Amino acid sequence: MKRTILLVAGLILSFTAHLFAENPNIGTSGAQFLKIPVGPRATAMGGAFVSNADDASALFWNPAGIAQVKNNELVASYTSLWAGINLSHAGLVVSTENLGSFGFSMSMLTMGDMDVTTELQPEGTGQKFDAQDLMLGVSYARHLTEDFAVGVTMKLVNQRIWNETASGIAFD
């Protein structure tokens, strides 16, 4: 009797274990390039920068941080990643005395041409394709009190790979 119960329990577990191992959302999230950190100071701090954001790189980390910018600031970075993938980022903060701070940002992830392959032509079809991810952002921030600021960013996000494109709007 004990063996039968163990055998039945083992069979049930073996048939249901794969149900928990599968993730139906694999490959369904987009704009993953927006998770790649920008700015040398923030990156050196391992991304622990949200509360410290007080320069033009705050456009990426925390839009309320641009309220700390006293003069106009520009940040630009270029990162060469692996496999020919490159990330370019630029941000401009324009501060005004009475209205608050305005920011404009752009991030672009690009890659070089790759060969189109198929199951029947694994060495390539002779065609090439590339991919590009683009984010354009507009931000606004202002102090509500001396120690408290609020900010918002509206982002236009566009992703393209070969003949497919996707676009959307995001907010921070």
107 versus 8: the higher-pLDDT residue is 107
Return the exposure string of 72-105: e unless at least 16 CB atoms fall within 10 Å of the residue's CB, then b. ebebebeeeeeeebebebbbbbbbeeeebbbbbb
Using 50, 70 and 90 to split pLDDT, how confident is the model at 14?
low
- 80-92 pLDDT, tens per residue? 988 889 999 999 9
> Which of these, 7, 18, 35, lies nearest to 109 by C-alpha position?
35
pTM score over 0.85:
no
Tokens 């394709």 correspond to 129
- 57-75 pLDDT, tens per residue? 889 999 999 999 989 999 9
Question: By percentage, how much of the chain surpasses pLDDT 90?
Answer: 51
Over residues 42-46, the mean pLDDT reads 81
The pairing of strands 164-171 and 85-96 is unpaired
> Which of these, 141, 161, 163, 136, lies nearest to 151 by C-alpha position?
141
Over residues 93-120, the mean pLDDT reads 93
Structure tokens at 154: 């509206």
- 122-158 pLDDT, tens per residue? 998 999 999 999 999 999 999 999 889 999 999 999 9
Structure tokens at 9: 């329990």
